[in-house]
């Protein structure tokens, strides 16, 4: 598929709204990882704008890994305990792909 073949592999290749991207990167990098309080970002917009791609590229550039959870994913108590709960005790998240 065209969109997969030509998907940007690094943040510099992403074409988008720099006025939105740069503040998000600055916010992410100022995250005090030693704080007991975590951070959460809610990114919204129409389908197909590149939200997930942008976040994946930013996190990849700064050595973070995303955990994607969709509302239609099947989740059980056991899955949460095995995949999400251990991440609460590490500084950066791990990708379970």
**Residue-wise pLDDT tens digits, 21-79:** 888 888 888 776 656 566 677 788 888 888 888 888 988 888 876 777 666 777 788 87
Lowest mean pLDDT among 15-19, 78-82, 85-89, 90-94: 90-94
Q: 38 is in which domain, residue-wise?
A: 2-64
Say which residues have a Cβ less than 8 Å from residue 63's Cβ, sequence separation at least 6: 92
* Residue 96: pLDDT over 60: no
Predicted confidence band of residue 95 (pLDDT cuts 50, 70, 90):
very low
Considering the domain architecture, whether residues 60 and 72 belong to the same structural domain is answered as no
Considering the domain architecture, whether residues 34 and 73 belong to the same structural domain is answered as no
Considering the domain architecture, whether residues 26 and 52 belong to the same structural domain is answered as yes
Q: CB atoms < 10 A from the CB of 57, how many?
A: 21
Considering the domain architecture, whether residues 42 and 84 belong to the same structural domain is answered as no
Considering the domain architecture, whether residues 18 and 59 belong to the same structural domain is answered as yes
Domain count, the chain: 2
Considering the domain architecture, whether residues 30 and 58 belong to the same structural domain is answered as yes
What pLDDT shows up at residue 51? 86
Considering the domain architecture, whether residues 72 and 60 belong to the same structural domain is answered as no
Rg (CA), the chain: 15
- CA nearest neighbour of 90 among 28, 34, 18, 11: 34
């Amino acid at each position: 598929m065209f969109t997969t073949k030509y998907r940007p592999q690094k943040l510099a290749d992403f074409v988008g709204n720099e006025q939105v991207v740069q503040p998000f990167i600055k916010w992410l990098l100022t995250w005090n990882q030693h704080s007991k309080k975590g951070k959460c970002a809610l990114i919204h917009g129409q389908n197909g704008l590149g939200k997930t791609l942008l976040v994946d590229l930013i996190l990849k550039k700064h050595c973070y890994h995303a955990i994607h959870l969709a509302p239609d994913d099947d989740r059980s108590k056991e899955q949460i305990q095995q995949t999400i709960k251990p991440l609460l005790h590490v500084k950066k998240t791990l990708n379970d792909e």
